[in-house]
């Protein structure tokens, strides 16, 4: 069992994935109270710290195996103004501070595809160089959930850093050759479980892959299914 410290945990999607991968959370840091309650309810044994990352010190967790961060996406998202480091929600500086305090064996940082935009070249290089200067071999790659058996088009960059004194080398997973089931194929039985008569028709219409949920931040009024085209791919007819 490996140890992990995670910030910006949200409702725990990445946290559950790390748990399945064999990581035991020493701490999960999340600012939103509702998300903290979800984390605590699903995993009462987790050490959920409900506070602003700016006020969190990582010194207590020196030497953890992994530091994971799903830092806020709006500073780099095309669905936002892409203010980058000038956005008050940019937590890359706090991420660097915590890496220095914790000195984990490995780091994993997730963000949106927009982080790769040319306008962020200088800032991205600054962040990656800073991680290298803290003693890590750094890689960055754009991954799509659709390529790994998930019925959703979700593109995210994943930065991985391995401490220089660690043996071995990290490789990103290989892309799967077969496509996952459509949303209709995947969820038809679940939609029929409460005897919904329209489930079969819905499944036929939901013949694509789920879109990425956009919005989500307070400034965008919460999550949204996105454009009408995306909604239709889920078999919903919006008027």
Q: How far is C-alpha 150 from the chain's CA centre?
A: 14
The C-alpha atoms of residue 4 and residue 93 are separated, in whole angstroms, by 20
Report which of 127, 150, 117, 188 is spatially closest to residue 17, judged by C-alpha positions: 150
- Among 150, 72, 154, smallest CA distance to 109 is for 72
Active-site annotation holds for 36: no
Structure token digits, residue 52: 């602003």
Q: Which one is catalytic: 4, 8, 36, 73?
A: 73
Provide the phi-psi class of 174: left if phi over 0, else alpha when psi is between -120 and 50, else beta.
Answer: beta
Beta-carbon neighbour count of residue 140 at 10 Å? 18
DSSP 139-201: EEEEEEGGGGT-SB--EEEEEEEEETTSSS---PPPPPSSPPPPHHHHHHHHHHTTT-TTHHH
- Catalytic positions are 73
């Amino acid at each position: 069992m490996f140890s992990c410290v995670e910030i910006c945990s949200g409702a725990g999607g990445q946290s559950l994935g790390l748990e399945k991968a064999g990581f035991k959370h020493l701490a999960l840091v999340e600012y939103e109270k509702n998300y903290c309650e979800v984390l605590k309810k699903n995993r009462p044994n987790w050490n959920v710290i409900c506070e602003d990352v700016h006020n969190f010190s990582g010194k207590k967790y020196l030497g953890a195996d992994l530091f994971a961060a799903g830092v806020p996406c709006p500073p780099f998202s095309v669905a936002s103004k892409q203010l980058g480091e000038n956005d008050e929600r940019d937590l890359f500086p706090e991420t660097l501070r915590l890496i220095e305090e914790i000195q984990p064996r490995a780091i994993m940082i997730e963000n949106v595809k927009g982080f790769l935009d040319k306008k962020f070249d200088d800032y991205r290089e600054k962040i990656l160089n800073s991680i290298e200067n803290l003693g890590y071999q750094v890689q960055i790659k754009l991954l799509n959930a659709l390529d790994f058996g998930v019925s959703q088009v979700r593109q995210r960059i994943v930065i991985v850093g391995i401490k220089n004194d660690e043996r071995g080398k990290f490789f990103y997973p290989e892309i799967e050759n077969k496509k996952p089931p459509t949303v209709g194929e995947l969820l038809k039985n679940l939609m029929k479980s409460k005897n919904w008569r329209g489930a079969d028709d819905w499944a036929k219409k939901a013949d694509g892959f789920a879109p990425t949920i956009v919005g989500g931040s307070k400034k965008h009024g919460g999550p949204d299914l996105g454009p009408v085209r995306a909604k239709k791919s889920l078999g919903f007819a919006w008027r």
